[in-house]
Amino acid sequence: MGQDNLKTNTILIDVIPQRMTPKQSLERLVELEELTNTYGGIVVVKKYQRRLHPHPKTFIGPGKVEELAVEGPAVGAKLLIINDRLKPRQMYELGERLGKVGMHVWDRMDLILKIFGKHANNAEAKLEIELASISHMGPRIYGMGMELSRQGGGIGTLGQGETNTEIMKRHLKERERTVKEKLKTYQTTRNLQRANRTRKGLKTVAIVGYTNAGKTTLLNALTGRKEYAANELFATLDTRVGSLYLPNKHSTVLVSDTIGFIRDLPPELIQAFASTLSEAVHADLLLHVVDASDKNAKKHMEVVEDVLGKIGADKIPRIVVWNKADRLKRRLAASKLSVSAATGAGIPELVDRIERTV
């Protein structure tokens, strides 16, 4: 996409089941729109199409593709994002058709990878993203080779297409191996650090939650660190650790922050970020931060629970922290631990709860 001050006009589209109401379908696009904004795009049109099954060749129906080929240029759209995972073939066909009218086509995973790519600021996160990109783009490249050779026609072009595909395939496989090897060394370091902490009897608390819930701000509030917190999705991609002194126990616990969760966090990403996420998996206590001012808070909590299950962290004791209480007009039920990581309200109560739990 363009320079910072040049936002890319973007169309979002979703394929939805017959029964879904227009309201529900637009809700599904809310997260995609937030992700698009985080990347630096501006959504000019949101659409959905009802289909029993995605179209095998183009995901959305051919009629819709033609509609977009007219509407896109009319609204100055340079990018189409589909709220799902596309097959290489579908991506190829769509890119071919809409490329003719000056539009790029991304699926949800492409968008997430682009955002991650922008935020990766340490070597480990960069490698993790590269690994996820390889597993995402690999099949697409092989698929494209197939398409190219099929369309190439003549015997010469066919052979050429295959050769190039083979070369790319081998190159990707080699790169994948190297990246995995490098990531392993990070994992080993983490394991050693963890073993060290256990030996010293240091407990760890991991902050988890939906992206933008205020995890980093809470880490900063608890530990006095000054990490980058921002009103954007996936501001944090690595794990930062700070220490928190527990006054009654006269002891210190380590608190770590981690990457935010979203709906359908692609499995490749969970796998690629295994090393970073391992801090949460091995923690003694999880702080599940919820943005209490977000009307989708309940849904976001379910998403977080789901991801915790997938990474094998669902058995760890946890405290639900209702954050951004300063934004609420009414007080939350007394049973809910409400804090404002931004103003510091409720933080002493939270420390007390941590102290009684670990």
Distance, in Å, from the CA atom of 267 to the CA atom of 159, rounded to the nearest integer, reads: 34
216 contributes a contact to Mg ion by CB under 5 A:
yes
Task: Supply 302's token pair.
Answer: 């379910």
CA distances to 103, 150, 151, 166, 216 from 169, in Å = 27, 18, 20, 5, 39
Residue nearest to ligand GTP (CB): 260
Q: Using N-to-C axis directions, what is the helix angle for 123-152 and 274-281, rounded to 10°?
A: 140
Supply angle C-alpha 21, 46, 52, rounded to 5.
45
Distance, in Å, from the CA atom of 172 to the CA atom of 135, rounded to the nearest integer, reads: 9
Q: Total residues contacting ligand GTP (rule CB under 6 A)?
A: 24
231 binds, among ligand GTP, Mg ion, none (CB under 5 to 8 A by kind): ligand GTP
342 contributes a contact to ligand GTP by CB under 6 A:
yes
327 binds, among ligand GTP, Mg ion, none (CB under 5 to 8 A by kind): ligand GTP
Q: What are phi and psi of 257, to 5 degrees?
A: -110, 155
258 in Cβ contact with 207 (< 8 Å): yes
From 40, 54, 214, 266, residue interacting with ligand GTP (rule: CB under 6 A): 214
**What residues pair up with 285 in beta bridges, in sequence order?**
205
25 in Cβ contact with 58 (< 8 Å): no
CA distances to 21, 43, 84 from 25, in Å = 6, 16, 13
234 binds, among ligand GTP, Mg ion, none (CB under 5 to 8 A by kind): ligand GTP
Q: Which stretch of DSSP H or E encloses residue 186?
A: helix 155-200
> Binding to ligand GTP (CB under 6 A): which residues in 279-338?
323-324, 326-327
Task: Specify the residue, 65 or 222, whose C-beta has the smaller distance to Mg ion.
Answer: 222
From 135, 216, 223, 278, residue interacting with ligand GTP (rule: CB under 6 A): 216
234 contributes a contact to ligand GTP by CB under 6 A:
yes
Supply angle C-alpha 220, 221, 226, rounded to 5.
25
Contacts of 58 (CB under 8 A, 6+ apart): 65, 90, 93, 94, 97
Distance, in Å, from the CA atom of 84 to the CA atom of 108, rounded to the nearest integer, reads: 5
From 30, 167, 230, 328, residue interacting with ligand GTP (rule: CB under 6 A): 230
Contacts of 310 (CB under 8 A, 6+ apart): 265, 267, 270
From 90, 133, 212, 239, residue interacting with ligand GTP (rule: CB under 6 A): 212
Q: Which stretch of DSSP H or E encloses residue 90?
A: helix 88-99
Question: Could you tell me whether strands 318-323 and 251-257 are parallel, antiparallel, or unpaired per DSSP bridges?
Answer: unpaired
From 29, 43, 82, 213, residue interacting with ligand GTP (rule: CB under 6 A): 213
- Applying CB under 5 A, the span of 90-98, 157-165, 187-195, 227-235 interacting with Mg ion comes to 227-235
From 3, 5, 18, 231, residue interacting with ligand GTP (rule: CB under 6 A): 231
288 binds, among Mg ion, ligand GTP, none (CB under 5 to 8 A by kind): none
Task: Specify the residue, 86 or 339, whose C-beta has the smaller distance to ligand GTP.
Answer: 339
Site string for Mg ion, 257-286 (x = CB under 5 A): ------------------------------
**What is the nearest approach in angstroms of Mg ion to the Cβ of residue 232?**
9
Task: Specify the residue, 35 or 44, whose C-beta has the smaller distance to Mg ion.
Answer: 35
145 contributes a contact to ligand GTP by CB under 6 A:
no
**What is the nearest approach in angstroms of ligand GTP to the Cβ of residue 259?**
7
- Applying CB under 5 A, the span of 101-109, 119-127, 214-222, 312-320 interacting with Mg ion comes to 214-222
From 220, 236, 258, 323, residue interacting with Mg ion (rule: CB under 5 A): 236
From 235, 244, 285, 341, residue interacting with Mg ion (rule: CB under 5 A): 235
318 in Cβ contact with 285 (< 8 Å): yes
234: alpha, beta or left, given left = phi > 0 and alpha = psi -120 to 50? Answer: left
Task: Give the interface with Mg ion as residue ranges (CB under 5 A).
Answer: 215-216, 235-236
Task: Give the interface with ligand GTP as residue ranges (CB under 6 A).
Answer: 209, 211-217, 229-236, 260, 323-324, 326-327, 340-342
